[in-house]
Amino acid sequence: MTNFVTPVVDWAALAPTLIVMGAAVLGVLIEAFAPRTARRGIQVTLTLLALAGALVAVVWRWTEVEANGAQTIVGGQLIEDPFTIAAQGIVLISAILAAFVIADRTQTREGAFAASAAARPGSPEERELTRAGVEQTEVYPLVLFAVTGMMVFPAAGDLLTLFIALEVLSLPLYVLSGLSRRRRLISQEAALKYFLLGAFSSAFFLMGIALLYGFSGSIRYSEVASATSVTVGMDWMLIVGIVLVLIGLLFKVGAVPFHSWTPDVYQGAPTPITGFMAAGTKVAAFAAMIRFLYIIGGGMKADLQIMLWAIIIATMLLGTVLGLVQTDIKRMLAYSSVAHAGFVLIAVTSYGSTGISSTLFYLLAYSVATVGAFGVVTLVREKDSAGNITGEATSLSSWAGLAKRKPILAVAMLIFLLSFAGIPLTGGFEGKFTAFAAGIAGGAWPLVLIAVIASAATAFFYFRLILLMFFTEPDEGTTVVASEGMSLVAIVLCAVATIALGVVPGPVLQFLSEAAVLLP
């Protein structure tokens, strides 16, 4: 009988994650014991304080790693290095901005979420709960649990921890996707599709872990990587295992052919959750992919190249082509995110420190613009013939003349669209420039050439919306709803950050170049 050796845990190194997870658990207790009328205020305050506190803890851990060096935690299950801390910081910045949009309520005193997720859409019970002003405040601990998984994802040092983090970030998102206040059936369909396809991708993920364990006898990244140079005659198991794990990660970033959930879930989920999911999940998944590919897949670069190049080309082209024909703004942004996933993959697969830093910069610029754009979408509403404000105006034609009705909001959306298009003096331009430069340095100039053409084509559907907003007469069936102001705070911060990342990107790029250090 072997003696169990208790691992030494550096609790201070886990502080950022523990703050968020502890707040999520506390949020569950608040749901159970706090009076219904007080829950929203408590949950919003707790969520924002926890995310801000975790960001402060991340800054503190950066200074500690700079002074004392990187380390493994919990017997190597987690890794604290500059890359982990930078990725966690970007996740938290995205989550804080998204939390403002999630918590906001309109002038009609309603949020983006259904009064009760359990009530059947259109039933008398649902109408009664809506009239009574009941709110689904379980949203906030679910968001915090998802952020916890996003923070662990890039820090995972073994495959089992990676899988647990994947499920911790995914399961809350499946639930949140089905909580839209309006268009309930579409929302529930989106949640079901996301759950079923997510479970399917998790099966591939687990099979990949099993094959990598069978190949190396370990689930630790460093030990699997070491086995690639000493294990003879089992390369097929290694390659298939890497491919299957990559399928799970590619599903999360919405790469072709694992993207089919993206447009439906983006359209059906509550818009604040769409923004949160589009930003945070991509940051976490790409960060996890970098560690996995660079440590375990680095020796198999030549074997994986054809597959990865095919996925990147298909992702860029399909995201661009299908984005051109969309008439719904949320579906258009969904296919935009697919195309952007292809652009980011060019940097990810360049296998160099420049690729790491450029990926992180791209994700930061994309995240702030995405949260801001979906924040604007939450405020542009339809109104019926009686003048009553109804659901979000997601049809592109409904955005006609927005600049004449709310010029500040239209200018903010303009900034985000220009960033998506990669226009100079925005964060999106610097992100694409550094990503493509990393691709050329890694020998992927054919991918970069296709990416430049695709990027020029994607600009068409961004500029189509810009023309509608600024150069057409206002749509009488559309209005801009007033709110408590939290969405406006997020939109302004996102717009300022997008411009700042484009005008003065130097300090951020310098910081991220120092963060491009992976501990095996």
**Residue 358 three-state SS:** helix
Render pLDDT for 412-443 as a digit per residue (tens, 0 to 9): 999 999 999 989 999 999 999 999 999 998 88
pLDDT given for residue 485 in this prediction = 82
* Cα gap 165→363, rounded to integer Å: 19
DSSP designation for 326:
-
Among left, alpha and beta (phi > 0; psi -120 to 50; other), residue 519 is beta
> What are the sequence ranges of the domains in the chain?
15-515
Let me know if 131 is exposed, middle or buried by CB neighbors in 10 A (0-12, 13-18, 19+). exposed
DSSP designation for 323:
H
pLDDT given for residue 134 in this prediction = 66
195, 214, 218: which is closest to 295 by C-alpha? 218
Q: Which of 104-108, 345-349, 404-408 has the lowest mean pLDDT?
A: 104-108
In the Cβ-directed half-sphere of 156, how many Cα atoms lie within 13 Å?
29
Candidate ranges 125-129, 172-176, 477-481; pick with highest mean pLDDT: 172-176
**293-306: average pLDDT:** 83
Contact status, residue 205 vs residue 247, Cβ threshold 8 Å: yes
215, 202, 336: which is closest to 275 by C-alpha? 336
Q: Which of 260-269, 334-343, 382-391 has the lowest mean pLDDT?
A: 382-391
Residue 135 above 80 pLDDT? no
Render pLDDT for 176-234 as a digit per residue (tens, 0 to 9): 988 887 787 888 888 899 999 999 889 999 999 999 998 888 889 888 888 877 665 67
pLDDT given for residue 233 in this prediction = 63
357, 336, 335: which is closest to 348 by C-alpha? 357
* Cα gap 173→270, rounded to integer Å: 11
Question: CA 388 → CA 108, 383, 515, distances in Å?
Answer: 10, 5, 51
**Residue 87 three-state SS:** helix
And the tokens for 264? 């439906």
Q: What is the pTM of this model?
A: 0.93
Residue 32 above 60 pLDDT? yes
The beta strand positions in 61-181, using DSSP E, are: 71-73, 78-80
pLDDT given for residue 224 in this prediction = 87
Residue 161 above 80 pLDDT? yes
Length of the chain: 520
Render pLDDT for 353-369 as a digit per residue (tens, 0 to 9): 888 999 999 999 999 99
The pLDDT-based confidence of 45 (bands split at 50, 70, 90) is very high
**293-308: average pLDDT:** 84
